[in-house]
Amino acid sequence: MEIILHVHHANVTEVMRTRAERAVRKLASRLSRAVDAVVRFEYDGGACRVELELRTARRAPIVAEGSAAHFGSALTRAIERLEREVRDEHAKAVRHRRAMRRAKAA
């Protein structure tokens, strides 16, 4: 899986980039067919914004965003939101597989 990092008007440390990449890889492993991810760090007028976009085959991209005064806090919020979205997608896939098995057995 390829991870693309975009940094707009910001100084982002290597530690922050590694943390974002590690979190995206961990969450992508929970989904089947993860294709790629985009991590955007933006700084605008004192506000830091982090956007995480996870793309999988045959589904709409999963996007989560976090804003705060510092990139660490913004990244934490974005990761929490992406975790929720991935958990919901995973649960939806499990329900779909179970329904298909029941329909096939009937």
pLDDT higher than threshold 80 for residue 106: no
Domain boundaries 2-105, corresponding CATH code: 3.30.160.100
pLDDT, tens digit, 9 for 90 and up, residues 69-102:
999 999 999 999 999 999 998 888 889 999 999 9
Query: Taking the complete model, does pTM exceed 0.75, yes or no?
Result: yes
Q: How many CA atoms lie within 13 A of 27 on its CB side?
A: 29
Residues in CB range of 47: below 8 A, 6 or more apart: 67, 68, 69
Collapse the DSSP code of 95 into the 3-class scheme (helix H, G, I; strand E, B; otherwise coil) and give the result. helix
Number of residues written out for the chain = 106
User: Which tokens hold the place of 29?
Assistant: 């492993």
